[in-house]
Amino acid sequence: MTRRIFVVAGEASGDAHAGRMLSALRQQRPDIEVAGIGGDTMRQAGVNIVTDFSELAVMGLVEVLKRYRHIKGVFNQTVDYLKAEKPDLLVLVDYPGFNLKLAKKAHQLGIPVVYYISPKVWAWRAGRIKDIKKYVDTMLVLFPFEQDIYEDAGVAVSCVGHPLVDAVHSSMSQEEAKRHFDLDASSKVLGLFPGSRRSEVQALLPTMLAAAEKIQQSFPETQIVLPLAPGLQANLLNEMLASSSANVRVVSGGFYDLIKACDGIVAASGTVTLEIALMGVPHLIGYRVAPISYMILSRLVKIPYVGLCNIVTGKNIITELLQDQMTVDELVPHLKTFLTQKHKKHEAEQIQQQVLTALGPAGGAFNAASCISKLVAE
């Protein structure tokens, strides 16, 4: 009998993680049919996408409220799908505001639930563990410390390892990567990585562009690159670039090769910062949300960092410019050091090793797929 699973990834990083896991699952169990909410990476893994994750990708409390009616509509459509199709397993990937509510609905419908990539209960909203214990059958977590948290709470859990340990690589040297993107291999390259959500880009890119203008005024030969994130419309970037005097090249595809080409990067907080660190490239984190969102979140969050590299190592190894600190005057001096100080590359390579050590064993996507394969078989 053909087994069917439904997978929900509400943003680009979740789509990437789910896609890697589902590609491994396809190798292990090619007979399983998969549908879900996701994007291009999941499509490439053979998933029937019923809703594109771009319908859901919003960051910040106020930003979510503005799109609440639309997100609620997608939620109701998804519940209707689960009622009608009754998949053998529901796999939820991160995105807890949406997915934990969906776990409750699935539990009521008698559909087993696996949660891959834990909500950050160790950072804020620890009370979610109670809902997870009620509605989630198995947690598949990335970090060993997360396994301890769930075991202590009596939740079935497996630590599968972080898939980025295997996934992040480029076969090119930095010079080769620059040439691959038709960049001058003898000149510096600065990356602007404002995130994959429309709200993030609108909040961060204007400041990044203003800083890029000043960098190119001081160092005219500097080349600026900006990746087109999956699920993001190119016209949004083009509209914002049209109002800037910075000479910026928008690049689609070849993400890790593009990171390799960069001498320094300013990036939105998120999985991308782990990816940059694992490539050994100097970078810093810039982030900003609506003021009321920040005010609420700063009171709820229990840890001193937002950057994943800093969280997993427990040290402030990557500079974080948050909210009012995310200004042109703060940003420009940091970016200049990436372009002018050779020791920054050596520091980034040391950080790379620290992050690799903190992330633990390889094989994350394969391990997660193996767990899901066993659960489907049961």
- For the record, the structure tokens of 18 come out as 């789910």
The pLDDT score that the predictor gives to residue 63 is 57
Higher pLDDT, 145 or 339: 339
200 close to 269: Cβ distance less than 8 angstroms: no
Which CATH fold would you assign to the domain 174-359? Answer: Rossmann fold (3.40.50)
Residue 62 confidence (pLDDT) above 60? no
What digits encode the pLDDT tens for the residues 286-322?
A: 988 777 777 766 666 676 788 889 988 989 999 999 9
Q: How many CA atoms lie within 13 A of 24 on its CB side?
A: 19
How far apart are the C-alpha atoms of 258 and 252, rounded to whole Å?
9
Query: Where do the structural domains in the chain lie, given as residue ranges?
Result: 4-163+363-377, 174-359
- Binning pLDDT at 50, 70 and 90, where does residue 189 land? very high
Please give the mean pLDDT across all residues of the chain.
91
- The pLDDT score that the predictor gives to residue 129 is 94
Percent of the chain with pLDDT over 90: 72
User: CATH top-level class for 4-163+363-377?
Assistant: alpha beta
142-181 pLDDT tens trace = 988 899 999 999 999 999 999 889 889 999 999 999 999 9
pLDDT at 292: 78
Question: Residue 54 carries which side chain, given as an amino acid letter?
Answer: S
pLDDT band of 127, cuts 50, 70, 90: confident
| CB under 8 A, 24+ apart: contacts of 203-207 | 203/288, 203/289, 204/268, 204/286, 204/287, 204/288, 204/326, 205/237, 205/240, 206/240, 207/286, 207/288, 207/326, 207/327, 207/328, 207/331
pLDDT digits (tens, 9 = 90+) for 231-259: 788 888 999 999 999 999 999 999 999 99
Work out the percent of the chain whose per-residue pLDDT is above 70. Answer: 94
Instruction: Answer yes or no: same fold for 4-163+363-377 and 174-359.
Output: yes
**CA dist 15 → 11, 39, 243, 310, 375 (Å):** 6, 6, 31, 23, 21
